[in-house]
Amino acid sequence: MNAPAPKVSFVSLGCPKALVDSERIITQLRAQGYELTKKHDGADVVIVNTCGFLDSAKAESLDAIGQAMAENGRVIVTGCMGAEPEQIRDRFPNILAITGPQAYESVVSAVHEAAPPSHDPFLDLVPDHGVKLTPRHYAYLKISEGCSNRCSFCIIPKLRGDLVSRPAGEVLREAEKLVKAGVKEILVISQDTSAYGVDLKYQPSLWQDREVRTRFFDLARELGNMGVWVRMHYVYPYPHVDEVIPLMAEGKILPYLDIPFQHASPNVLKAMRRPAHQEKTLERVRRWREMCPDLAIRSTFIVGFPGETEDDVDFLLDWLKEAKLDRVGCFRYEPVKGAPANEIGNPVPPEAKDERWHRFMKTQREVSAKLQKAKVGKRLPVIIDEAGPSVAKGRSKYDAPEIDGTVYVASRRPLRAGDIVTVKIERADEYDLHGMAV
């Protein structure tokens, strides 16, 4: 059903500033599902980040472009030499696009045009931005590829293979470069963040002058020392996740966990073959909240999975009332071509799926309303996403971009995207908060 991930080959020349740009482009593309390849041959597109500081550097850049043209032919040029596009066009009239230095947004747009990202809401880890790009103040950091679980409704392992973690040192170097480039919030993503490093047997790798294990806790701890907001997505409720909660309580990483529970009934979870389905999740969530009282949990659920009974739905709704999750999305089950769940049979009729979905949403709305109300009167740190003439749009620590709520911030002084300000919350509606910068 899905085309394989488009492949990008990248050549980065020049000074440390150019390297930061390269890193930013690579991070963005990786998060959008592109695969990086070391060879031009076989890539869908080649990006050459050039240097034009000295004549020798220009010559080296032109050589690199020439090589990419010869080996691939689909080339995007960026960086300092992009400021003088004629020089490049004269020699290589068939270049796909030329953009100037620090224009990473344009490079990513050019890549989208040359090799469109195959957006699939089911497969993708980041919300669909289309041509809209992640603002400069936050970035998705992808820590692994593939997945070693075998959820019965999912074909990601078939498409992307088993889990392949990036060594901790490599991930941390990328994070450090993002921070240097002005990123204020890092969103850690992968198909199964809690499984990070299992494939590498948690092998240590060099970071600064020491060794850091390729392991969820160790990575969280090191990222927590970078002085920016760090948000964890796609974590499963395994016992070892307990270790990370104190980092949240200490304010090292954000008190936020995105856990795709998908269901609560043991029968359905078993049929779904979900990871950690035997863990006592309610107990675990309770313990996490004891350790970190302001922990926010976001999750997604599926209703109408084949074989789901009314009892399963009752179980799920009771669980939901008890778990009091902060943000929740719910989907009606749809079969995915090639997924083992298609063999289960016993489908839930569409009317029943609909009715269950409405019941689910009503239950969660009541939970959310209470949680939202409890925030009124509090002073919360808010990161500004969009400046506005009198009201800016931002997010609290409890809200991830695109998927969670917005905080509308009135302010007497101008606020810029990326500012982190304290906001007194004055009003709450179903999803969003309204307040005043103090």
Nearer to ligand SF4, 248 or 302 (CB): 302
The correct pick among 48, 151, 181, 257 for binding ligand SF4 (CB under 6 A) is 151
Rounded Cα distance between 261 and 316, Å, is 11
Q: Which stretch binds ligand SF4 (CB under 6 A): 142-150, 206-214, 243-251, 280-288?
A: 142-150
Minimum gap (Å) between residue 236 Cβ and ligand SF4: 7
First vs last Cα of the chain: how many Å apart?
51
Nearer to ligand SF4, 110 or 126 (CB): 126
Minimum gap (Å) between residue 179 Cβ and ligand SF4: 28
| Residue 258 touching ligand SF4 (CB under 6 A) | no
Three-class SS state of 35: strand
Phi/psi at 252 (5° precision): -75, -45
Minimum gap (Å) between residue 232 Cβ and ligand SF4: 15
Structure tokens at 224: 């927590």
For residues 325-352, b (16+ Cβ closer than 10 Å) or e, as one string?
Answer: bbbbebebbeebeebebeebeebbeeeb
Nearer to ligand SF4, 44 or 145 (CB): 145
Which residues have C-beta within 8 Å of that of residue 113, sequence separation ≥ 6? 96, 97
Nearer to ligand SF4, 190 or 372 (CB): 190
| Residue 275 touching ligand SF4 (CB under 6 A) | yes
| Residue 156 touching ligand SF4 (CB under 6 A) | yes
| Residue 342 touching ligand SF4 (CB under 6 A) | no
Tell me the residue type at 279. Answer: E
Say how many residues touch ligand SF4, by CB under 6 A. Answer: 10
Evaluate whether 11 touches 46 at the Cβ level (below 8 Å): yes
Bridge partners of 229, per DSSP, are: 185
Three-class SS state of 256: strand
The correct pick among 21, 105, 192, 258 for binding ligand SF4 (CB under 6 A) is 192
Nearer to ligand SF4, 162 or 211 (CB): 162
What is Dmax (Cα atoms) for the chain? 74
The correct pick among 25, 29, 48, 154 for binding ligand SF4 (CB under 6 A) is 154
Which residues have C-beta within 8 Å of that of residue 258, sequence separation ≥ 6? 231, 232, 233, 234, 235, 297, 298, 299, 400
Bridge partners of 299, per DSSP, are: 328
Q: Which stretch binds ligand SF4 (CB under 6 A): 65-73, 145-153, 202-210, 404-412?
A: 145-153
| Residue 157 touching ligand SF4 (CB under 6 A) | yes
| Residue 163 touching ligand SF4 (CB under 6 A) | no
State how far Cα 276 lies from the chain centre: 21
Nearer to ligand SF4, 275 or 394 (CB): 275
Minimum gap (Å) between residue 297 Cβ and ligand SF4: 17
| Residue 300 touching ligand SF4 (CB under 6 A) | no
| Residue 149 touching ligand SF4 (CB under 6 A) | yes
Nearer to ligand SF4, 137 or 160 (CB): 160
Rounded Cα distance between 409 and 384, Å, is 8
| Residue 191 touching ligand SF4 (CB under 6 A) | yes
Which residues have C-beta within 8 Å of that of residue 227, sequence separation ≥ 6? 179
Residues near ligand SF4 (CB under 6 A) are 147, 149-151, 154, 156-157, 191-192, 275
